[in-house]
Amino acid sequence: MGREAIRRPCSGNGFLLAPAPRWKKDARLGRDVLYRFRNSYPTMGRQLKLNGRELGVLRTIGFGLGVPGKEIQERTNIEPEDLCDLLNTLLDIGYIETPTMKERVPFEEYATEIFEINASYASDLKVAMRR
Convert the pLDDT of each residue in 95-117 to its tens digit.
999 999 999 999 999 999 999 99
Do 18 and 57 fall within a single domain? no
Do 60 and 107 fall within a single domain? yes
Do 31 and 56 fall within a single domain? no
Do 26 and 69 fall within a single domain? no
Report the C-alpha gap between 45 and 65 in whole angstroms: 24
Is 40 inside a domain boundary? no
pLDDT of res. 2: 46
Do 61 and 124 fall within a single domain? yes
Domain interval for residue 10: 5-35
pLDDT of res. 24: 60
The whole-number average pLDDT for the span 14-42 is 54
Convert the pLDDT of each residue in 42-90 to its tens digit.
445 567 788 889 999 999 999 888 999 999 999 999 999 999 999 999 9
3-state DSSP percent of the chain in helix, strand and coil, to 5:
35, 25, 45
pTM over 0.85, yes/no: no
Side chain identity at residue 74, one-letter code: E
Q: Is 35 within 8 Å of 83 (Cβ atoms)?
A: no
